[in-house]
Structure 1
Amino acid sequence: MSPAPFPSRDLSMGLAALRDGITSGDIAERVDFAPGVSLIADAPLDVGGTWRSPAGRLLELDISMAGRGNWIALHMALDLPDLADIAFVGFGCTGVGPTQQIIRPCLRSGLDDGGFVDCFLDRHILTRTDAIPHVDALHVPTCRTLPETAPWRELLLFLPTEPLRWHLHDLRMFAA
């Protein structure tokens, strides 16, 4: 059994670029931070704010909302079209925030008809003032809604739909 190419080449390069570089910009309805790494928000949220990626960290987000909307998420493209020989798909991360807020991780799989299906991981990320590790995984054989094959997949981190300050220090994905 050979391991699946995971994460995607673009995402691996994008995460490496964010860790190694010093970049920054403004938050908008869609922001492409690096290849394979984007922030996408529901338009009625009317998001604003700033982001930066200091050397040695992934992202420091300072997001404001002027409206009311239903979702905002970090999207990370994955190269996992076939899960036949995979038992677990997961990730680990560290980060900090000045207040406790909940971030909901999800594996999104594209469908052949153009739609998608979301499979939420069991544990949410709780932002805290100290950088504690968070690790979670899906047990593929018991996720009834997770398609074995998909034209595309993403790891999504659904952020709160209220102002957020979060420093994502590191994020790593795995499939086994």
Structure 2
Amino acid sequence: MTAIMPALLSPGLSAFTASRQDGPLQAERTNLAPGMFLDADPALQMAGRYSSAAGAFLDLHAAPSGRGGWFGLHLALELPPLQEISYLGLACRAAAPEQLMLRPCLRTGLEGGGFSDCFFDRHILAAGRAHSHTDALYLDSRPELPLSAPWHELVLFLPCQAFDLSLMHLHLFAL
């Protein structure tokens, strides 16, 4: 079994991590780097700020003024055919002043359009004290995953209400 280098899995993640940025959250889509963006349900009327500073991957201050069904951090993945890997995983470190739950998901594009979501087994809990989270999808146990797909993304579904979050690190791995 050969591990795939994290930088090869998501070039956008590598590009964003190397940069230092800050800016406003857009109502629907906030582009952070090529292949990396925040996507919000238009009904949320998303507002707030994001930043990436030394020692922290991504800090978010989300302040939606509406009610909506989704808000997510999307990372385009460059994966080999899924038959060639056994595990796809993530490791992160997060903190938030109020407890938050994040749901990681492998989103797979379908031939002819649309997508299929495969959620990781464990949610990420961010709380007042920073802690680490690691989880992996064992792909052989996920028959719902299409083995051939035009594209893949890692999506971290975020809360749909106002929150502050510090994602100190986010790393991806494939084995």
What TM-score results when the alignment is normalised by the length of structure 2? 0.92
Q: CA deviation at 1:2?
A: 6.1
Give every structure 1 segment of 4 or more consecutive aligned residues whose post-TM-superposition deviation is greater than 4 Å: 1-9
Could you report, residue by residue, the CA deviation over 1:48-77 in whole angstroms, capped at 9, with x for unpaired residues? 001111023211000011111100000001
Matching residue's letter, 2:19:
G
Query: Structure 2 matches for 1:58-69, cutoff 5 A?
Result: 58-69=57-68
Asked if 1:166 corresponds to 2:174, the answer is no
Q: Secondary structure at the match of 1:44?
A: helix
Could you report, residue by residue, the CA deviation over 1:137-172 in whole angstroms, capped at 9, with x for unpaired residues? 111001121111111000000001111110110100
CA distance in 1, matches of 2:77, 2:170: 13
Aligned-residue RMSD, C-alpha? 1.8
Q: CA deviation at 1:15?
A: 2.9
Asked if 1:99 corresponds to 2:98, the answer is yes
Could you report, residue by residue, the CA deviation over 1:92-133 in whole angstroms, capped at 9, with x for unpaired residues? 000110010111000000011111100000100111111111
CA distance in 1, matches of 2:80, 2:115: 13
Q: Secondary structure at the match of 2:108?
A: strand
Partner of 1:111: 110
CA distance in 2, matches of 1:43, 1:139: 33
CA distance in 1, matches of 2:93, 2:164: 14
Which 5+ residue runs of structure 1 have no aligned equivalent?
none
Asked if 1:25 corresponds to 2:6, the answer is no
Partner of 2:86: 87
CA distance in 2, matches of 1:5, 1:69: 36
Query: Structure 2 matches for 1:121-132, cutoff 5 A?
Result: 121-132=120-131
The share of aligned pairs that are identical, in percent, is: 43
Partner of 1:137: 136
Partner of 1:46: 45
Asked if 1:16 corresponds to 2:17, the answer is no
CA distance in 1, matches of 2:82, 2:70: 27
CA distance in 2, matches of 1:89, 1:99: 29
Further displaced range: 123-132 or 20-29: 20-29
Q: Secondary structure at the match of 1:15?
A: helix
